[in-house]
Amino acid sequence: MDETVTDESNEDPDFPTRRHVLEPDCSRCDRLPADRTCISWGTGPLDAAVMVIGEAPAAGDPDAERWRGGNLTGKAYTASHSGRRIRRLFESIGYGGRTYYTNAVKCFPRDREADEPTHREPTAAELSTCRRHLRAELERVEPDVVCPTGKHATTSVLAIGTDGAGGSEDDDGAGTELDGFLDAVLEPIDAGIGSPVVPLLHPAYQDVWRARLGYEAAEYRTAIAETLATVR
């Protein structure tokens, strides 16, 4: 496979045509079912080389024609900004058709105190409950490498290797705390889940934190490509 690093294209990546539903109308969490529009399920080939895991779907843009966001499309990483950006990135390093996209929490975690629909951070209990779905995806896809984007997604992935049940009914939701997330970015981790874990920056905050890590945009893409080539 050609893994040559190129500049990210301004053209939209292919929009996913299907999603992989694990539990229709899942209602395991107390608050999320009432606040979501759609459950945001994973998309991509089931024999993918890479699994990219976001935190949770945002509110989405109901006025957008296509890239409206997983809460409205029911498909992970399909927001106008974050979804297109992370998909462009993986296309630019040669994994466009070999990446599976999903979220640590499949439903929109709405901030009920805000006047407009906006998201909050998912709770530890919500991350824990949804890990059963994440674990099922990992077992089904068996990717060569797992790339969680951001601290919360990374923390939840690492917890799968330590809680054993991937979100059991008696799990207290504490998970595995990840201190110094920036120090973990692009550092392969053996998390005991069958695939190496390579944490990445969340695309929504990528520009700010990438600069703090000392990378230009092209250097960051090259570093991702080189790291994936090393651990696969």
DSSP string computed for the chain: ------PPPSSPPPPP---B-SSTT---SSSHHHH-SS--BBBS-TT-SEEEEES------TT-SS-B-HHHHSBSS-BTTHHHHHHHHHHHTT-TTSEEEEESS-S--B-TTSSS--B-PPPHHHHHHHHHHHHHHHHHH--SEEEEBSHHHHHHHHHHHHHSSSS-TT--S-----S-HHHHTT--B--SSSS-B--B--GGGHHHHHHHTT--HHHHHHHHHHHHHHH-
Confidence of residue 166 (pLDDT cuts 50, 70, 90): very low
pTM of the model: 0.90
**In this model, does residue 175 exceed pLDDT 80?**
no
pLDDT band at 2 (very low <50, low <70, confident <90, very high): very low
Q: Is the pLDDT of residue 1 over 50?
A: no
